[in-house]
């Protein structure tokens, strides 16, 4: 029954409830870990960020966070992880710039499942290398949340940074494993994490890699990252952040003719996708105001290198999936 939410755990809705949860967890973590050292893969997503902030409060520098930049993160994300955790929370943070490694491995690979496998396997390899450089690590912290346990049965919790070799098995520390996503967000808020970290939309593990459709190239990946940043900025300015469930841009590997300064261009289209869903199994398309779409189109076609068109994806799920690959 270790993986069943305790009946005594009240649903966390208010900051006061979150503060009580935090106090309890700090005590429990100190009892479990004592003076041991804990390793955490910190992606900057809500779950791992909340786990990091809890552990920093409980054990300070005995937590070692590893942030792997695989080159497929959104604009500003690695910088924010460093700013928040190293500079503001004074955490023990190892930043690994693995951009070239990932992009070299992915060069020329256009099959979506192969891309996912390469990203997943390379991530474990980088994390393993970092873990081997450290001494006396006894615990591995993970941002497992309750839906992960409910959806995958009790096995998944052992497979999150799964794939680590036999000699690198640690005791797991999973302080938010009985919480639902909305509760994790309230706890994050109570821990003082910034809103754009706490209320972040879902982001796939392979990151922008599955939005740079086909074989990833650095220039087209930059077009994905820059157009995504513009879309997010405009959605935030126009009150859509936190209202629309997931929104992002895709750059497929096709070119079309355009015209700029009287000359013909041969450039990519950017596709905007903005959807609402409860469970990601089905999804509807957000009715974004046409004038806002026109404004975003104007910005993307003028500010993003290599892009001459913008399209809006009108397809619900089904028949389209949320991501393009
Ligand atoms: P689809 O595209 O299948 O996506 O409609 C449903 C939800 O899952 C996310 N997604 C992923 N998340 N690894 C992840 O961690 C993945 O490989 C992956 N593929 C899709 C997607 O962003 C959406 O929220």
Say if 275 falls within a structural domain: yes
* Beta carbons within 8 Å of 270's beta carbon, 6+ residues apart: 223, 227, 249, 250, 251, 300, 304, 307, 309, 310, 311
Length of the chain: 325
171 and 257, same domain (yes or no): no
Range of the domain at 66: 15-198
Q: List pLDDT tens digits, range 231-290.
A: 999 999 999 998 999 999 999 999 999 999 999 999 999 999 999 999 899 999 999 999
Q: List pLDDT tens digits, range 170-187.
A: 999 999 999 999 999 999
Mean predicted confidence (pLDDT) in 12-40: 98
Mean pLDDT of the chain: 95
Q: Ligand 1 centroid vs 204 CA: distance in angstroms?
A: 5
pTM, to two decimals: 0.94
51 and 173, same domain (yes or no): yes
CATH of the domain at 239: 3.30.300.10
Pocket of ligand 1 (CB under 6 A): 116, 202, 204-206, 246, 280, 317, 321-323
Boundary residue ending a domain (198, 228, 243): 198
Tokens standing for residue 107? 């060069």
Q: Ligand 1 centroid vs 54 CA: distance in angstroms?
A: 27
- In total, how many domains does the chain have? 2
33 and 182, same domain (yes or no): yes
Say if 4 falls within a structural domain: no
The proportion of the chain whose per-residue pLDDT surpasses 90, expressed as a percent, equals: 92
Q: List pLDDT tens digits, range 214-238.
A: 999 999 999 999 999 999 999 999 9
Boundary residue ending a domain (198, 229, 253): 198
38 and 149, same domain (yes or no): yes
pLDDT the model gives residue 158:
40
Atom of ligand 1 at shortest range from CA of 320: 5
Q: Which residue has the tokens 């393009």?
A: 324
pLDDT the model gives residue 160:
57
pLDDT the model gives residue 167:
86
pLDDT the model gives residue 157:
41
Boundary residue ending a domain (142, 174, 198): 198
Say if 6 falls within a structural domain: no
Atom of ligand 1 at shortest range from CA of 277: 24
């Amino acid at each position: 029954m270790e993986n069943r939410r305790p009946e005594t755990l009240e649903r966390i809705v208010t900051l006061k409830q979150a503060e009580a949860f935090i106090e309890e967890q700090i005590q429990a973590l100190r009892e479990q870990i004592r003076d041991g050292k804990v390793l955490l893969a910190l992606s900057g997503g809500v779950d791992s960020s909340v786990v990091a902030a809890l552990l920093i409060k409980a054990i300070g520098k005995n937590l070692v966070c590893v942030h792997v930049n695989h080159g497929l993160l959104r604009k500003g994300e690695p910088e924010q992880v460093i700013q928040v955790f190293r500079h503001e929370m004074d955490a023990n943070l190892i930043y690994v710039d693995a951009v070239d490694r990932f992009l070299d491995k992915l060069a020329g690979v256009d099959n979506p499942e192969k891309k996912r496998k390469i990203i997943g396997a390379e991530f474990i390899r980088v994390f393993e290398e970092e873990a081997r450089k450290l001494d006396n690590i006894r615990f591995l912290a993970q941002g497992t949340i309750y839906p992960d346990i409910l959806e995958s049965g009790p096995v998944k919790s052992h497979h999150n940074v799964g794939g680590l070799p036999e000699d690198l098995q640690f005791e797991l520390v999973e302080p938010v494993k009985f919480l639902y996503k909305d509760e994790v967000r309230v706890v994050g808020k109570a821990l003082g994490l910034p809103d754009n970290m706490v209320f972040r939309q879902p982001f796939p593990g392979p990151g922008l890699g599955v939005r740079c459709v086909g074989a990833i190239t650095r220039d087209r990946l930059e077009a994905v990252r820059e157009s995504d940043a513009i879309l997010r900025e405009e959605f935030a300015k126009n009150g859509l952040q936190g209202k629309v469930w997931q929104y992002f841009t895709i750059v497929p590997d096709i070119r079309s003719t355009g015209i700029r300064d009287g000359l013909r261009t041969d450039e990519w289209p950017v596709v905007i996708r903005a959807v609402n869903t409860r469970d990601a199994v089905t999804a509807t398309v957000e009715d974004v105001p046409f004038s806002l779409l026109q404004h975003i189109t104007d910005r993307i076609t003028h500010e993003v290198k290599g892009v001459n068109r913008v399209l809006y994806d009108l397809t619900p799920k089904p028949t389209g999936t949320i991501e393009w690959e």
